Amino acid sequence: MTTGLEIGNRELQHVERSVQERATLLSATHPSLRFQDVTPQELETLAGSIAVFLARQGSLVFQEATPGRWMALVVVGEVDVLKLDRSGGHRLVTTIGPGEFLGELGFLDGHRQSATAVASTDTLLLVLTRAAFDRLLEETPALVVKLLPDPIRLLVLRLRGIDAIG
């Protein structure tokens, strides 16, 4: 079972949900995600690899420069993504809402988080750790191949938006 400590954040509260409930949360996400392209068995396999966390309004979801050991899909709520500016203050880069990924850059490239994320409302997150992802990749590579295009596509769009700001 994944805990707040395992993902490096005690501010996030683990919410116990059955595999079936997690599969339902996944399938109810934003229509732009391609979870409808996976079979019910694949969806259940994925759901068995994720954990549900609650970030209360104002909670630090992750801090810039911390290891990117997990990524999340926002189910309900919103998370503000903040970047340190030259004066040492935080500037709002974007707000992540339901059906959007969070923390995918640090997760995918294996480096540190490039920004700070703070829950702007009570937020429900589906979290996939690097260890769970590696197990999925080893045990069900075809499922991972089906799922990777969405976070990569969204990441590219987000990076292009950040480049336009900077």
The model's pLDDT over 42-56, given as tens digits with 9 standing for 90+, comes to 889 999 999 999 999
Containing structural domain, residue 127: 13-156
* 51 located within any domain: yes
Six-digit token string for 52: 């549900």
| Alpha-carbon gap, residue 29 to 46, rounded angstroms | 14
State the DSSP H helix or E strand holding residue 73, giving kind and residue range, or none if neither. Answer: strand 70-76
Q: Does residue 163 lie in a domain region?
A: no
- 107 pLDDT band, cuts 50/70/90, is confident
For residue 73, what are the β-bridge partners?
A: 101, 126
Q: Examine residue 97 and state whether it is found in any structural domain, yes or no.
A: yes
Q: Residue 40's pLDDT band (boundaries 50, 70, 90)?
A: confident
The CATH number covering residue 35 comes to 2.60.120.10
The torsion angle over the Cα atoms of residues 111, 66, 114 and 127, rounded to 10 degrees, is: 80
What CA–CA distance (Å, rounded) separates 45 from 40? 9
Top-confidence residue, 60 or 165: 60
Q: How far apart are CA 17 and CA 23, in angstroms?
A: 10
User: What's residue 34's pLDDT?
Assistant: 65
Q: Is the pLDDT of residue 39 over 90?
A: no
Q: How many domains does the chain have?
A: 1
Q: In this prediction, what percent of the chain has a pLDDT beyond 90?
A: 45
The pTM assigned to this predicted structure is 0.84
Return d(Cα 20, Cα 162) in angstroms, integer.
Answer: 37
> Has residue 115 been placed in a domain?
yes
